[in-house]
Structure 1
Amino acid sequence: MTEISDWLLFEMRDRQFAVEAQVVKEILWLLPLTPTTMGGTGFFATFPLRGEIVPVFDPFFYWGTKPSPYESSYQLLLLNSGTAIPIAKVSEVISWENPKRKSDSDSSGVWEERVWKNKVVTLLDVDHFHPGGRKNFDLTEDGSEEEDGDPEPEKSWDEFFIKGEERSKLAWFEETYGQIEDDEVSELEFRAISYSDSVTPVDHGGLEPISIVKVADESYGISLDSVLEFSDPSHLTPVPGMSPVLKGCMNLRGEVLPVLGLDEILGNQIKRPFGFGKVVIIKSETSQFGLLVDELVDVVYKKEDEKRTPPLGTKDYGGVLESSYRHGDGFINLLSIPTILKKIKQELS
């Protein structure tokens, strides 16, 4: 007997796609995204939603096509798996005959194509799009799926890491989400506030989100609770005659913020061309300012009860390193924002 189910039709890059409606948990407007190098192919960003961190997956990135800029009018298709897909818009929901499911785990994640209202619609197998790739399935006599062999533990997006894809992930983020204008970003931030206020946030289970930045080939951590957003140094205006630690000022939605060089704060004397690096906008109880770093590396989540003092032998930098987490084969040292702010005020007074 032919099975019929509801399918959600939506548009991406002027092409029509469809997924089973039952796999869609929610449809959101585009929210502020944070780059990540974690997850398998196609995963490139995350965003917080009601106490949870949602990984963002772009099928076109997975398929190896060239990136194209997102717009503030885009939506996020939040799936039951906990993954979100950026889409241009939802078209409609229709009832369709279920396709014959593929058992090839190396496929592109496409079941088949159909024609609807004179347009070709590509049916996506969203189970295929998880960090480790779709599991192998055999088809039984009645057409249902049966897992081939003993099941292996499925890795989540933050447990799976493909070495060598870090730059492509960050480049995809910059060329898609990073092209959104500042005034549109403020609109996205307003949406994020309304979503976070809609329900009581869920406990993170003792995990602290940390943004990892790189300066002079050394990596440091900044608590994401202290980060307002990331920006481009092209918006910087130099201030002649000031301390070398002040790299310039930038206008952030009508507010002029000082931008400080993390290199100089850490005592480095490396000269870099103007416009090099990235700016991390820091928020504190009393003020906001920017930190100029060489590179944004990742956002990771660490168990707060595993926080410790920096390892013996770590250079002190005047107390700007407040604590440390084990990360990979070594440690990631967290910057003390209050100490940095105090040092900056003394330096510029």
Structure 2
Amino acid sequence: MNPLKVIVFQINAEEYAINVNHVYSIEKVQAITRVPGVSAFIKGVVNLRGVVIPVIDLKERFGLGSTLSDDQTRLLIVSWNDLELALVVEAANDVIDIQEDNIEPTPDTVGEIHEGFLQGIVKLENRLFTMLHLEKVLNIMDKHEISHT
């Protein structure tokens, strides 16, 4: 079985991961231009190498407050339904390989984040992190709202 390559990142000191196939790059946070009339978790847009990209604060998307930007804060540039989006995370820690059989079902008591967002829990040596189902995290947003930011 081929390993699954994931990017591990932090929100509220917890580790999460998404499949690296969704991620084009990891960037330092830059100036974000606010866009009026959009959901609070859409922080605005950035100009990344000549491309205007909407910025989504994952922490705020999950209802956990806003991400405070510091030297560790990163933008994960991802592709979703033919759109490029930037996801604000508190830190991007690692790119690692996991075996799919290391992904366990999400427990019935999932805590703070809506269980539909979660693909499963990964136990890897002394680490435990949550695999996000990126499509579900982003799919419930209004694509029209994002594409017009």
The corresponding residue for 2:54 is 258
3-state SS of paired residue (2:60)? helix
- Tell me how far 1:271 sits from its aligned partner: 5.5
Is it true that 1:343 corresponds to 2:135 in the alignment? no
**How big is each residue's C-alpha offset from its partner over 1:93-121, in whole Å with a ceiling of 9 and x where there is no partner?**
xxxxxxxxxxxxxxxxxxxxxxxxxxxxx
CA contact (8 A) 2:69 2:90 kept: no
Does residue 334 in structure 1 map to residue 131 in structure 2?
yes
Are 1:236 and 2:29 an aligned pair? Answer: no
What are the residue-to-residue correspondences of 1:154-303 with 2, within 5 Å? 205-270=1-66, 272-273=68-69, 277-303=73-99
Q: Of residues 324, 327, 335 in structure 1, which corresponds to 2:121?
A: 324
Partner of 2:104, secondary structure, is: coil
Cα–Cα, structure 1 residues 322 and 347, in superposed 2: closer, same or farther, change >3 Å?
Answer: farther
Q: How does 1:19-38 map to 2 (within 5 A)?
A: none
Q: Decide whether aligned partners of structure 1 residues 294 and 273 sit closer, same or farther in structure 2, where only a CA change above 3 A counts.
A: closer
Amino acid in structure 1 at the alignment position of 2:61: I
Alpha-carbon distance between aligned partners in 1 of 2:141 and 2:71, rounded to the nearest angstrom: 21
Larger strand proportion, structure 1 or 2? 2
List per-residue Cα deviations over 1:236-289 (Å, max 9, x = no partner).
222244321011211233321101001011110246258871100012342211
TM normalised by structure 1 equals: 0.38
User: What root-mean-square deviation, in Å, do the aligned CA atoms of Structure 1 and Structure 2 show?
Assistant: 2.5
- Distance of aligned partners of 1:346 and 1:256 in 2 relative to their CA distance in 1, 3 Å threshold: closer
- Give me the whole-angstrom Cα distance separating, in 1, the residues matched to 2:2 and 2:120: 16
Q: Which 5+ residue runs of structure 1 have no aligned equivalent?
A: 1-204
1:256–1:275 CA distance, 2 compared to 1 (3 A): farther
Seen in structure 2, the aligned counterparts of structure 1 residues 276 and 238 have a Cα distance that, compared at 3 Å, is farther
Distance 1:252 1:271, change over 3 A: closer
Matching of residues 309-320 of structure 1 within 5 Å: 309-315=105-111, 316-317=113-114, 319-320=116-117
Identity %: 23
Whole-Å Cα distance in 2 between the matches of residues 229 and 273 of structure 1? 18
Residue 335 of structure 1 aligns with an amino acid whose one-letter code is L
| Higher gyration radius (CA) | 1
Structure ranking higher on relative contact order (CA contacts 8 Å, 6+ apart): 2
